[in-house]
Structure 1
């Protein structure tokens, strides 16, 4: 989820039954050393709770320095041990760490010594699941608070099915909550994985990009959800590239190929808004009035008369 799970999107998925949200993967050394990077990479507010900040790091010191700066504003610190991109492996971060369990163990230990919020790891499995079991046990030995396991090795493509066996093993050897990641595109997928592995919950990345209302039971992104995202993105100020790409994901299953070619060629926020207004009846002003009225009604209904 590099770039794509920033504040507007996190607020969006909370409206559709997502319980815990993560920031994009952030480079710990840059975050710790640059105020500009901190301002660009992480923003939050009172509604953004619980939120887990996910760091990529190659050593415990950089990670702990970043964690200490972020801790007052988040509900948890997550160590990314799963990113399979070549640049990440070359930098000895992400899924490179699956071959370096002692560094991950030291990272957890240093974060736990410096901050008072939960510390988790997001891992992949090994071809030899005995290595995965040993990896998990080392992290548990220094007090990792929960684990997310992506059910593929770092070399497997996303088109290959996840290993339910691998995710089940991580749950069986763990003494902390375990979340499963990979191939969660519908609530049925999530329920099936929980039933097969016994994990405590599921995480979605590609699936929730395509359908932010996934955990509310929708199989295709509803128009209301798209309207909500446009409203939030405009309110918070989202750059045109991210704004466009989120919408491209959300329309993936509902637009014809011809319509996709037209929509995907748009390059500016005004052009995107004009297209949605003309072809879908987008009306953000109306949407904002409706949401204000809903909020007012909720507040009115929650009032308690204590007069006698």
Structure 2
């Protein structure tokens, strides 16, 4: 499957050659990622959050693999603008594009469109939100294991590139045996790896069932990524120790601290500055730029400062606030005391 055709010029021909080599190398390298890293550190798919700017940021701080937000496969097929907004490009490989779909045809067609810009696609069978259930996607699909298997198998067979990844993200059933049976059934479709959020569809803040993840790891031969409450590098290693998972995936905690996988316990100032640089370079929308900073800066600001910062309405005001608060050397010692308290 070749990259899209480009205008006939020496520059573009050279680009195609270079891009083709890059895609081949990156694909081979990334699907071997579980062999190359003792612990694969993954940024979770997060609606509205795990878009290109944030993926570029976490790669600077120890993230080995990033997912797009959950994308609607049918919209991805139909809308050029949808694909543009989600910025699925080879700029930020290794990347897995996660789709929500409930038919083999839609998932496979979306996969073919995404193929040249990522190293794999993932079927979301873990989203617990009611709107997703109403649409027949996400975690409700776990009650239709044969449908999930059909979607994954047909897509795996449709992509001739065996190094291209097809994977799935699931939750657990209360019945451990049923959970393990599902994992084995999905493995039999030829998927590359499986991500398991160690909670049921109904659970939100309850403790993660690490014993269920371990049972899956013991039952299958493909790599398993453990998801749920990975809030520090220390926790990531502890979860791997308990479950035997080849990777760990963080969501909410990596929003608050994009440098989590480097062992930082809070977002360092250089990470905040890097976020500002990335967004200035990409000229991102203010809402995305500000929303991420609200998460990153919350533990670093007192209640009064948070109120001011969260209500800023333009990029210049945000950059001025960041500069005054974090880049004024006279405030650094005070800032450290605020963080530790």
Partner of 2:255: 209
Residue 34 of structure 1 pairs with residue 79 of structure 2: yes
- Residues in 2 aligned to 1:239 and 1:84: alpha-carbon distance in whole angstroms: 28
Pick the aligned partner of 1:134 from 166, 181, 191.
Answer: 181
The offset of 1:146, in angstroms, is: 0.2
Number of equivalenced pairs = 281
Cα distance in 2 for partners of 1:275, 1:254 equals 13
User: Aligned partners of 1:38, 1:80: CA distance in 2, in Å?
Assistant: 18
Q: Please give the per-residue CA displacement for 1:215-270, whole angstroms capped at 9, x wherever unaligned.
A: 11101000000100110012112211111110011112111112111111112222
- The answer for unaligned runs of 5 or more in structure 1 is 283-308
Q: Please, which of 87, 94, 116 is the counterpart of residue 72 of structure 1?
A: 116
Q: How does 1:1-308 map to 2 (within 5 A)?
A: 1-46=46-91, 48-115=92-159, 116=161, 117-157=164-204, 159-281=205-327
**TM-score normalised to structure 1 length:** 0.88
1-structure distance, mates of 2:130, 2:69: 18
Give the distance between the partners of 2:303 and 2:198, measured in 1 at CA.
31
Q: Which secondary structure does the structure 2 equivalent of 1:3 belong to?
A: coil
Provide the rounded CA distance (Å) in 1 between the counterparts of 2:194 and 2:151: 14
Q: Tell me the distance in 1 between the aligned counterparts of 2:264 and 2:227.
A: 19
In the other structure, the counterpart of 1:295 is: none
Name the TM-score, length of structure 2 as normaliser: 0.80
In the alignment, the residues of structure 2 paired with residue 253 and residue 162 of structure 1 have an alpha-carbon distance, to the nearest angstrom, of 24
> Relative contact order, CA 8 A, sep 6+: which one is greater?
2
Cα separation, 1, equivalents of 2:178 and 2:87 = 34
SS at match of 1:119: strand
Q: How far does residue 43 in structure 1 lie from its aligned partner after superposition?
A: 3.2
Mark the runs of 5 or more structure 2 residues left unpaired by the alignment: 1-45, 329-341
Contact (CA 8 Å) 1:263, 1:272: kept in 2 or not?
yes
* Shift, 1:122, TM fit: 0.7
Q: Which runs of 4+ in 1 moved over 6 A?
A: none
> 2:120 touches 2:167 (CA, 8 Å); kept in 1?
yes
Q: What is the distance in 1 between the residues matched to 2:283 and 2:145? A: 40
Residue 279 (structure 1) shift? 2.6
Q: Would the aligned equivalents of 2:88 and 2:117 in 1 still touch at CA under 8 Å?
A: no
Find the aligned partners of 1:103 and 1:269 in 2 and give their Cα distance.
46
CA distance in 1, matches of 2:138, 2:169: 9
CA distance in 1, matches of 2:136, 2:314: 36
Cα deviation 1:14-60 (Å, max 9, x = unaligned): 111110111111000110111121111233244x1211111111111
1:286 alignment counterpart: none
Q: CA RMSD in A?
A: 1.4
Give how far 1:138 is off. Answer: 1.3
C-alpha separation between the residues in 2 aligned to 1:45 and 1:98? 31
Corresponding residue SS for 2:173: coil
For residue 253 of structure 2, give the secondary structure of its aligned residue in structure 1. helix
